[in-house]
Amino acid sequence: MLGLMKQISKAELFLGFLTIGLLGFGGVAPWVRHVIVEERRWFSDKEFAEVLGVGQILPGPNTVNAAVIIGDHFQGPIGVLLCLLGMMAMPLVIVTALAAVYYRFASIPELGAATSGSRPWPTSSLPWVSRLSPCSTGRWCR
């Protein structure tokens, strides 16, 4: 599947996926390709498409699966851990920091008023979504 084995250090793997996690907060797929193919040149377009294709048929997020495959390809099980840690570290730090800021300022009435409008939406949308599902119309769930 993959061509010649390049020498990619553990630090390069971690920093590459740390970059992906930071740039792609909320959606990493385009950034994975950019960093791996264009910026770092670890894989060609064809090789990356093969890795992503395998990642898409495995259960779980395709970019996380690709990180596992890439980490294993270059550094084995340690590479897998480094790629996953690198990809997940920055989003975890950002979400934790936002939660800490929200917790610190949640008692300010203006902030509560600004965020209160978003609370009921998920709950109120569930009955509407369930009415639109194929099972509720009796088309697919027999």
User: pLDDT: is 29 or 112 the higher one?
Assistant: 29
Q: Is pLDDT of 142 > 50? A: no
Q: Is pLDDT of 141 > 70? A: no
Q: How confident is the model at residue 81 (pLDDT cuts 50, 70, 90)?
A: very high
For the chain, give the longest Cα–Cα distance: 60
Q: Is pLDDT of 99 > 70? A: yes
Query: What are the tens digits of pLDDT across the range 8-58?
Result: 999 999 999 999 988 886 678 888 999 999 999 999 999 999 999 998 899
Q: Is pLDDT of 120 > 80? A: no
For tokens 């980490």, the residue is 71
Mean model confidence pLDDT for the chain = 82
Measure Cα distances from 121 to 107, 116, 125 in Å.
21, 10, 6
User: pLDDT: is 111 or 12 the higher one?
Assistant: 12
Q: How confident is the model at residue 83 (pLDDT cuts 50, 70, 90)?
A: very high
Phi, psi of 15 (to 5 degrees): -65, -35
Number of alpha carbons in the 13 Å side-chain half-sphere of residue 7: 0
pLDDT reported for residue 20: 92
SS3 helix, strand, coil % of the chain, rounded to 5? 75, 0, 25
pLDDT reported for residue 50: 93
pLDDT reported for residue 88: 92
